[in-house]
Structure 1
Amino acid sequence: MDQQKEKWSFFSPYSKSDPSMDVPVTAGPAGTIMSPYLNFDPSYVTPGGDSEFIFPEGASRQRGRLELSFSQIGGSVFAGAAVGGLNGLYAGLRETQAAQLTGAVRRTQMLNFITKRGASSAQTLGVVALMYSIFGVVLWWGRGVEDELNTVVAGTATGLLYKCSGGWKRCLRGGGIGFGLATAYILFTSKDRIKSMLGRD
């Protein structure tokens, strides 16, 4: 009677002795955890256990230069807007204080400084990132390989093209800046690869 009452109570319609509740959660000699509902071993999805995603056969596990270009351009635009906005905030505070503006007039002038400086910096960095991405993608498609040489050539070409309208001196200066930034990026991100190429362990 007590067992029947335990089995059909309002808060516990099933008892521990109910055979339908005896579902194993492990299987195999190693006790691999399995789903008690689907009887599915998650290790089958990733046989090597080195990735959380399923890739098609023959597909690269890393994003190529074209896929990375979208995030690089967008990130450059946002970074330029943030830097320009902070610069505009500082300039606006200084200029409005010097002009002794107060109230709504000062707030309006502050917003003008922030939006103008932010938009200008965002446009500049966005154009530079766009040119760099175009050069990088063209080199990647043309050479059929993605390596450090593409980064250096793309950075140098971007600097040359961006400053080409200011004369050959500014053009060379821009190319040198692009070469320096690309080289610094490679030295920072590819230390192990450079050491292996030079034969140093």
Structure 2
Amino acid sequence: MERGGQVSCPQCGAPAPFRGTAVSLVCEHCGSTVVRTGVDVRLLGRVSSVIDDGSPLLLGGKGSFAGRGFEIVGRLQLRYARGAWSEWYLQFADGVGWLADFQGNFAITVPAAGADFPGFYDMSVGTWHEVHGAKYMLVDRRAARYQGAEGCLPFVAEPGLTFFALDLAGPDDQFVSLDYGVDPHNKRPAVYLGRAVLLAELGLDRLRRFEGWHD
């Protein structure tokens, strides 16, 4: 519900601080997913808690990438045949992005202009494709099931949904993700461009600390 511009969780009444263009939010008090449509909010139900995978990243952490400051405002945790990983939703001053977090490897991508591609099942690992004038090799295909979430997200992530995505790699750690959403036959997936990163270069102001771990 919304009171005087302040959004509250319909389940427990706690503040629901939506950020930017976020569409859904996991209430940090009761774990319910709150969905925003215009000025209205509705309750989707309880969302699965994220599994502690030992990630050093934290919601609310602030850093910078390519000279642009960002804040980590949400997290989507997914699982597929090769394991689980997290996609951290980033809010820049002038847009949004994602920080992929998979077994100690990290990559940041930001939205790029869309383009036509074959369907998810028509793309094979090891093949080369042109994306915005550069050549990239398809290195991974993922049909991943939504496992849990926290914070704000730009879409409604319902438990049990399967997301389809392709990862392509280029020179100098360049990285492309083609996001087919829940439709593997979509011929115009969302395109995200970026590169692999080291946590140290992001200058994050808050990280989880582990015994024996040095920056």
- Structure-2-length-normalised TM-score: 0.22
Q: Whose relative contact order is higher, 1 or 2, with alpha carbons under 8 Å and at least 6 apart?
A: 2
Pick the structure with greater CA Rg: 1
In terms of fraction of residues, the more strand-rich structure is 2
- The structure whose residues are more often helix, as a share, is 1
TM-score using structure 1 length: 0.23
